[in-house]
Amino acid sequence: MDEDGIPENEVIKELEARRKKDLTYSGGRILSSMCSSPHPLVKKLYPMFLETNLGDPGLFKGTRELEAEAVRIIGSLMGHSGARGFILSGGTEANLTALWIARNRMRRPYPEVIVPESAHFSLDKAADLLGIKAVKAPLLPDHSVDSEKVAELVTENTVALVGIAGSTEYGAVDDIEALSEIALEAGLHLHVDAAFGGFVLPFLRDLGYDSRPFDFSVPGVSSITVDPHKMGLAAIPAGALLLRESAMLRAIETPSPYLTERKQHTITGTRSGAPASTVYALLRHMGRRGYRRNVERCMMVTLHMYNELRSMGLRVEKPWMNVLVFKDEGGKVRKALMEKGWVLSRTRKGEARIVVMPHVTRDTAQALIKDLRDILG
């Protein structure tokens, strides 16, 4: 560190120069990410909460109330307004916390969790950190988990089942009702990872699309991950963990004797109140109608692209939600698009993948289709 600091305007210039190297969602070229530009209201309100610390909530009672309210509203969206939980740093922390609860509640000497092969790698991290064996369940051709195979994998060591509602690669939704039956019969924790689908599926249903039940309306569901920083239009970091019963928190209760709250139930100690408060603001401002419109727009672009890509002869998977995947031998199409400035991701099988987030507009889709036509000749 230098002995003397430099003037503010010079620091700002330095940061602006670095920031110019970043891609932006509003630039319209990012087709690989499950995040997007945050809603403008978030940018207005964030500074109000910069000093708040939900790790010491007795000092920030108002902010703590906002977190509880945000959890209650997301809980009601998930079919249970009495759900308890937290606004955490994202899907990884929410999944880790859910498995932490499940492991501690079951207390098995050699704990195992049954996870679909489609699961996000955060569940591998969680299993590793918690000393749980992640047993992978195979998928059906539609990329959802084979529930019959899940039932066969249950052993006396199983502490939890995980179902995915909106898989990272295909947006696939597992048969949560079938998993619920297995979980209830075996007395297991059923965690649903709806990090992406949580802010999509309820609105797909409103819009008349076919969508599988995945939330607390399914009786065996114990906990759900829903990420406001994906389709919820919140700023990074914001992930929610929702629990069916507050009693589950006892399993991870840790005394915090020198703070204003004597027990903590989160992995992180000091945690900003800005994500929770701005998530609350968005939920209040957007309402169901606002989020429904958001999903409606994304789906219109998704289905437009789906039809166009098919008409070009590309083998496109029928989309479960606003995620498009098409066969791409040797990654050639993806590479050619990347050369034209697009950023696409790939599935583990090597297919090209496009996430149609709110920043992927109809104009973006048209520009992409034009470039694709040029590439495919």
What is the phi/psi pair of residue 242, to 5°? Answer: -120, 135
d(C-alpha 272, C-alpha 89), whole Å: 10
Cα–Cα distance, 126 to 167 (Å, whole number): 17
The pair phi, psi for residue 179, each rounded to 5°, is -65, -35
Stretch of residues binding ligand PLP (CB under 6 A), selected from 69-77, 135-143, 188-196, 211-219: 188-196
Preceding amide of 237 cis, omega within 30 = yes
Whose Cβ is closer to ligand PLP: residue 234's or residue 248's?
A: 234
Ranges of H-type helices in the chain:
8-21, 40-45, 61-77, 91-106, 122-130, 147-153, 176-186, 201-206, 274-311, 332-339, 362-376
Q: From the CB of 173, what's the least distance to ligand PLP, in Å?
A: 11
- Considering only 49, 196, 214, 306, the residue that binds ligand PLP (CB under 6 A) is 196
Based on the shown chain and the rule CB under 6 A, indicate whether residue 333 belongs to the binding site for ligand PLP: no
What does the DSSP assignment read for 92-117?
Answer: HHHHHHHHHHHHHHH--SS-EEEEET
- Only segment of 192-200, 255-263, 269-277, 321-329 that touches ligand PLP (CB under 6 A): 192-200
Surface-to-core class of residue 307, CB atoms within 10 Å of its CB (0-12 exposed, 13-18 middle, 19+ buried): exposed
Output the smallest distance, CB 315 to ligand PLP, in A.
23
Task: Restricting to residues 67-126, name those near ligand PLP by CB under 6 A.
Answer: 90-92, 95, 120, 122
Q: Which stretch binds ligand PLP (CB under 6 A): 193-201, 297-305, 335-343, 349-357?
A: 193-201
Instruction: Decide: 315 and 326 in contact? Cβ < 8 Å.
Output: yes
Binding to ligand PLP by CB under 6 A, coded x per residue (else -) over 197-236, reads ------------------------------x---------
**Contact code string over 138-177 relative to ligand PLP, x by CB under 6 A:** --------------------------x---x---------
Residues that bind ligand PLP (CB under 6 A): 34, 90-92, 95, 120, 122, 164, 168, 193, 195-196, 227, 239
